[in-house]
Amino acid sequence: MANNTVKKLLGIALAIVALAGCSSTQKSWEAVAAKAGFDEVTVMSGNDEIGYWLYGTAGTCQIRLFAHPGENRLYATVPGSQDLGSSDFVGDPSVALLRTDPRFETCFVAEDDEGVQAP
């Protein structure tokens, strides 16, 4: 009987450690996205095996981000894209990089126009 109790306690302890590990991985991807300049970063779903879907704000757009743990890389998807083909992903994105990418132009047009007065 004591053996079963020890096994149950060990199982519970391992489950808690696994959950804590997932949480810290999610938090680290949030930190990577925030360091790249994205605001309001939120992990939506995922795990260490398949990766994590996050959302972050860049300019006026909510950008869908994918964290690929196997490659240790973050990707941004082009706004409005429904096809997750490789041409719709930007690897190792930063808000500064997205500002120079014409596919993300609509995210920053309103920001660029702010403060500019008409003649």
Q: Going residue by residue through the chain (119 aa), what tens digit of pLDDT does each one get?
A: 566 654 454 444 444 334 334 445 666 999 999 999 999 999 999 888 889 999 999 999 999 999 999 899 999 999 888 776 678 889 999 999 999 999 999 999 865 555 544 33
Q: Is residue 23 part of a domain?
A: yes
pLDDT for res 25: 61
Q: Is residue 64 part of a domain?
A: yes
Give the residue among 91, 90, 92 at the shortest CA–CA distance from 102: 90
CA distance 106 to 103: 8
Q: Is residue 119 part of a domain?
A: no
Which residues neighbour 101 within 8 Å (Cβ) at sequence distance 6 or greater?
Answer: 90
Q: Is residue 99 part of a domain?
A: yes
**pTM of the full predicted structure?**
0.68
CA distance 112 to 119: 16
Q: Is residue 46 part of a domain?
A: yes
Is residue 63 within 8 A of residue 57, CB to CB? The reply is yes
pLDDT for res 1: 56
Q: What is the extent of the structural domain holding 98?
A: 2-113
Q: Is residue 118 part of a domain?
A: no
pLDDT for res 21: 42
What sign has the CA pseudo-torsion 98, 26, 87, 64?
negative
**Structural domain tally of the chain?**
1
